Amino acid sequence: MSWLLVAAVALGMLVWAGRTGARTGRREWRIIAGGLGLAAVVAGTLTLLRGGWLLGLVLVSSGLALAGLARSPAPRPGADGAPAPPADGMSLAEARSVLGVGEAASREEILEAHARLIRRTHPDAGGTDGLAAHLNAARDRLLGG
């Protein structure tokens, strides 16, 4: 009986997640984890009351673990990246090092290096605001703008 409750809640949560769109974000997964954790705690408690000690303890502990995961704070975008220094505060050597170009790099080489790195570190691609700003500051310093 307790497994039916857990299975019903799990199925309901997964159907709900599927209807929210193709991209299920961290918020939705936190809700799913919280619901499954609550269902596991309830099922574990019912199992304990019926005398199933081992299964009941496993369900209660896994439910509490899931509930703990649901309560963990979501990382804020840019929280781990330091804000970029102003472009005029960056030396030419540091700007070249950031973009990985030599002293004799042409404008096209600088722009290509910047484009290659910004694709990987842009906030929309999983990077941080601080890294993207630092790359932009290095590009601006080397191009004089």
117-140 pLDDT, tens per residue?
A: 888 887 777 778 888 888 888 898
| pLDDT tens readout for residues 64-75 | 887 777 776 655
* Interaxial angle between packed helices 53-71 and 2-19, expressed in degrees from 0 to 180 and rounded to the nearest 10: 20
At 144 the pLDDT is 82
Q: Is the pTM of this model over 0.85?
A: no
d(CA 3, CA 74): 30
At 24 the pLDDT is 54
Neighbour tally for 38: CB within 10 Å: 15
**Distance, CA of 41 to chain centre:** 27
d(CA 80, CA 144): 28
Instruction: Classify domain 87-143 at the CATH class level.
Output: mainly alpha
Residue 10 in this model has a pLDDT that exceeds 70: no
> Which sequence spans correspond to the domains of the chain?
2-71, 87-143
d(CA 27, CA 46): 29
Amino acid at 39: A
- CB distance 4 to 59 below 8 Å: no
Which band of pLDDT confidence, cut at 50, 70 and 90, is reported for residue 88? low
